[in-house]
Amino acid sequence: MKRTTTKLADGRELTYYDLDESAARDSVDRRALDPVDSRPELRLDLTTGDWVTIASHRQGRVHHPPTDACPLCPSADGHHSEIPAADYEVVVFENRFPSLTGRSGRCEVVCFTPEHAASFADLTEGRARLVLDAWTDRTARLSSLPGVEQVYCFENRGVEVGVTLAHPHGQLYAFPFVPPRTAKMIAVAGTHRSVTGGNLFEDLLAEARSAASRVVLAGRHWTAFVPYAARWPYEVHVYPHRRVPDLTHLTEAERAEFPGLYLDLLRRFDRLFRPEGGSEQTAPTPYISAWHQAPRNGGEELALHLELFTVRRSADKLKHLAGVESGMDSFVNDIAPEDAAHRLREVAA
């Protein structure tokens, strides 16, 4: 993998990741951009102890632009985008409308492909591996920044989950605090250790692998399974068989196997809601894909894993967060985890 770092016209950092070690990345951002003016504020919710980010400047960000004005496509004659090059493989750059910045963390955008109409599931295994290597490199670099407590790599796909740019991309958040979900998992893992003497995530993986009804895919180094208490209609967790804290600790064998398994899983998600007897579905499956990594401090019990879920529960129905879920964070799932796993096994290519 070759990494080439440059600056955009307003001073933001941009990094190209290439499989070809000879790739030349010398394109210059010729846009006339004002400096980024973002001053997000972190406020503590005294009723829960959770940090809330106030980022009012994000109201002005680009919202569903036409294809010929996409800011994530390569630059071309008459169109200068966030990526100065006329082509790219994988690129990461600082978000122009960040929720976190400066002493309050950092936000980056990860573009998986120059193809506007593609998706992560359309990537080759080699390109998916390059994305994994980019996630790993950014995790290492962002974790080293002063004040950063946790690095979160994720992808949102589909307008149903709030995506404002159609081009296939993900994001990276470098949090200056431990987010609520991570803090909760660490606390539960600590209790599990004190009661059982074992690691919560190792035990969850072992239990899932022994209960074949919830396993979707399994390789030599990774297993994808529906959790026992899944919150979302179709929710799959992907664990490496060897407990590690974050992406930087994966072995070469683990890195080599992940792309194929993950692409298989994403393609199954896209086959979930095809009309009966048909070969195509009306729209791609919306999803959120989230890497959970141990924070810098106090996360010894947390194990690296990926959580993938969709808000769609049938071809024409979405899982909306109702009052009990939005108001009380108490989930109700309309689909049994065992049924979801069966359906995901059923839609293998």
Q: Distance (Å, rounded) from C-alpha 26 to C-alpha 19?
A: 16
Spatial contact of 53 and 62, defined as CB atoms under 8 Å apart: no
Q: Which of 64, 80, 167, 169 is catalytic?
A: 169
Tokens 């769609």 map to which residue? 312
- Does the annotation count 63 as an active-site position? no
In the structure encoding, which two tokens stand for residue 73, read together?
A: 């496509």
Torsion-angle region of 277 (φ positive above 0: left; ψ -120 to 50: alpha; else: beta): left
R_g of the chain, CA atoms, integer Å: 20
Which has the closest alpha carbon to 288: 233, 245, 215? 233
Spatial contact of 138 and 146, defined as CB atoms under 8 Å apart: no
Spatial contact of 19 and 126, defined as CB atoms under 8 Å apart: yes
As a dihedral over the C-alpha atoms of residue 342, residue 344, residue 345, residue 349, rounded to 10 degrees, the angle is 150
Which has the closest alpha carbon to 37: 61, 62, 14? 61
- Tell me the catalytic residues: 169
